Amino acid sequence: MHIHILGIGGSFMAGVAMLARELGHIITGSDAKIYPPASTLLADAGIDVFAGYDTSNLQPAPDLVIIGNALSRGNVEVEAVLDAGLAYTSGAQWVAENILRDRWVLAVAGTHGKTTTTSMLAWILERAGHNPGFLIGGVPENFGVSARLGDAPFFVIEADEYDTAFFDKRSKFVHYRPRTAVLNNLEFDHADIFPDLGAIQTQFHHLVRMVPASGRIVVNGNDDNLHALLNMGCWTTVEHFNASNGWSSVLKSEDGSSFAVLFKAKQKGLVRWSLIGQHNVDNALAALVAASHAGVTVADAATALGNFKNVKRRLQVCGEANGITVYDDFAHHPTAISATLQALRSRVGEQRIFAVMELRSNTMRMGTLRQDIATSLCEADQSMILQAAGLSWDIVTIADALGGRGRILGSVDEIITTLADELREGDHVLIMSNGDFGGLHARLLARLQQQEPVASGASG
């Protein structure tokens, strides 16, 4: 079967493309813009991608068109699909009907940490010898791919609450029907499609209602919004992490690189790994508890986590030049930004951190969470925010709230020039965006490598 995918460059849709290819289908796709890691994964899989949307991309006519949720009416290929009467579906529905049927689905939902927790859970099952299938909105470094079919029975999937498609406004995760569901946390996000937190809770409750009584729901005990969600009705056994009467953790190192796993205050395991930050410890607890429902012991899960390498674009070191370390991170919500900076601070101590941020997600561009942005950057010594075109609010308010520690810069070139002038040996640059940020990471490293090193504490 020839399947054409609209919006193939998105992390989820790229994974769908890889799964469909693994099933033996002929895959093509279109997207307005595509960049790593999705572009690399698709190229390695031998999948042809058209740059831009055009009706000619649908010739010869495919047997099925999978339409991503970034596509809407008015897109030339969407209109051509409808006019020609071509068969079409959403990515989530296609996965549910062609991949998840008859599998034990382990779904990871929540505002933050979905990609990392899903990757941890898949790796724990892998190390336990299960060869699980997975579909993840990022690239776990242990696997090098974002999706694979794996062997029955287990399939691990990142369960996104964003809507399914222009013709299906339910959250994607309602298609997945998990036996094991992880609820990491719940905050307001996606202001472009949800009017308030209650609307998101309603979608999460649709997910809760689908988990069988014989299944398991793993819930963050520290999240009041999740408590309220479960009070709307729950028919499944619930296990809590971050709870004194359930699973909890105790840091054995300040940066979170070592922690004990406890159940009802009794130590059950110890994890020593390369990751840092309390948020990653929480993610690990969620993955460990979910894996226990699939029969993996705490000891085996702890050993697997010790070999976990994290996900690309999650506090990932891009490189070092002249003693300056540059990191890439996907954080684009104030809570995630704060957690990432706290983790980095716990590792680097008093060394300077420069936070560089692009307000690229729909929620950030709308300014819905503007009151929390400056606070989320408080661990950074200096913060630089790109003045992107088309923002509906004045981001100068962020710089004002940060005093002399915050600046608004008009272009990627200006950011590079400013950083190159101010950075010193021992500094850390944390670049945060859910896009490619105009190639800032590589361009900054190249600029730093070309200039003479400046010792820490030297005057500019």
> What CATH number does the domain containing 320 carry?
3.90.190.20
Tokens of 139: 């690239």
366 pLDDT more than 70: no
pLDDT tops 60 at residue 175: yes
Predicted confidence (pLDDT) at residue 458 exceeds the cutoff of 70: no
Do 335 and 428 belong together in one domain? Answer: yes
**Rg of the chain over CA atoms, in angstroms?**
22
Domain termination site, one of 273, 306, 339 = 306
Residues 299 and 320 in one domain: no
255, 109: one domain:
yes
Single residue among 23, 56, 90 that ends a domain in this structure: 90
Into how many domains does the chain fold? 3
Task: Say what the pLDDT of residue 363 is.
Answer: 64
pLDDT digits (tens, 9 = 90+) for 129-174: 999 999 998 889 999 999 999 998 999 999 999 899 999 999 999 9
Q: What is the pLDDT, as a whole number, of residue 398?
A: 83
Banded model confidence at residue 450, pLDDT cuts 50, 70, 90: confident
Residue 150 near residue 74 (C-beta atoms within 8 A) = no
Strands (DSSP E) found in 184-232: 216-220
In a domain, residue 95? The reply is: no
Tell me 250's DSSP state. E
Report the C-alpha gap between 40 and 11 in whole angstroms: 11
Range of the domain at 59: 2-90
Find out whether the peptide bond into 334 is cis, omega within 30 degrees of 0.
no
Written as six digits, the tokens of 287 are 């993955």
Residues 251 and 119 in one domain: yes
Nearest Cα to 232, choosing from 200, 187, 184?
A: 200
Q: What are phi and psi of 311, to 5 degrees?
A: -115, 145
- Split at pLDDT 50, 70, 90, the class of 362 is low
pLDDT above 80 (res 434): no
Across the range 333-353, mean pLDDT stands at 88
Q: What is the mean pLDDT of the chain?
A: 91
In angstroms, what CA-CA distances link 341 with 26, 117, 233, 318, 356? 43, 19, 36, 16, 11
Q: Both 157 and 280 in a single domain?
A: yes
**Do 281 and 191 share a domain, yes or no?**
yes
**Measured distance CA(274)–CA(295) in Å, rounded:** 25
CATH assignment at residue 19 = 3.40.50.720
Give first-to-last CA distance, the chain, whole Å.
Answer: 62
Domain boundary residue among 306, 325, 353? 306
Per-residue pLDDT at 236: 97
Measure the CA dihedral 440/7/198/175, to 10°.
-130
Residue 294 lies in a domain: yes
User: Does 358 lie in the same domain as 233?
Assistant: no
Tell me the average pLDDT across 119-128.
97
The pLDDT tens digits for 307-328 are: 999 887 777 888 999 999 999 9
Residue 460 lies in a domain: no
Mean pLDDT of 265-289: 93
Amino acid of residue 65: V
pLDDT in tens, 81-92: 999 999 999 999
* Residue 63, domain member (yes or no): yes
Q: Which residue has the higher pLDDT, 217 or 392?
A: 217
Residue 61: DSSP 8-state: P
User: Is residue 460 pLDDT above 70, yes or no?
Assistant: no
Whether the CB-CB separation of 336 and 112 falls below 8 Å is answered with: yes
pLDDT of residue 177: 96
Place of tokens 């796709």: 29
Structure-block tokens of residue 307: 């070999």
Residue 184: inside a domain, yes or no? yes
* Residues 136, 141, 144, 148, Cα dihedral to 10°: -30
Token representation of residue 204:
């999460």
What 3-state DSSP class applies to 235? coil
Q: Tell me, yes or no, whether 211 and 274 share the same domain.
A: yes
Mean pLDDT of 281-287: 95
The helix/strand/coil state of 221 is coil
pLDDT for the residue numbered 457: 65
- The arithmetic mean of pLDDT across residues 2-15, rounded, is 94
Kindly report each contact of residues 272-276 with a partner whose C-beta sits within 8 Å and lies 24 or more positions away, as own/partner: 272/306, 273/305, 273/306, 273/307, 273/308, 274/308, 274/309, 274/310, 275/308, 275/310, 276/315, 276/343, 276/344, 276/346, 276/347
Regarding whether 135 and 46 lie in a shared domain, the answer is no
Find where tokens 């989820």 sit: 12
**Do 63 and 147 fall within a single domain?**
no
Q: Are residues 264 and 386 in the same domain?
A: no
Q: Note whether residue 292 is domain-resident.
A: yes
Q: Does 458 map to a domain?
A: no
pLDDT at position 423 is 93
Q: Is residue 459 part of a domain?
A: no
- CATH number of the domain that residue 184 is part of: 3.40.1190.10
- Could you report the per-residue pLDDT of 368-389, keeping only the tens digit for each? 667 778 888 888 999 998 887 7
Are 232 and 207 in contact by the 8 Å Cβ rule? The answer is no
* Interatomic CA distance for residues 428 and 305, integer angstroms: 26
Q: Same structural domain for residues 115 and 228?
A: yes
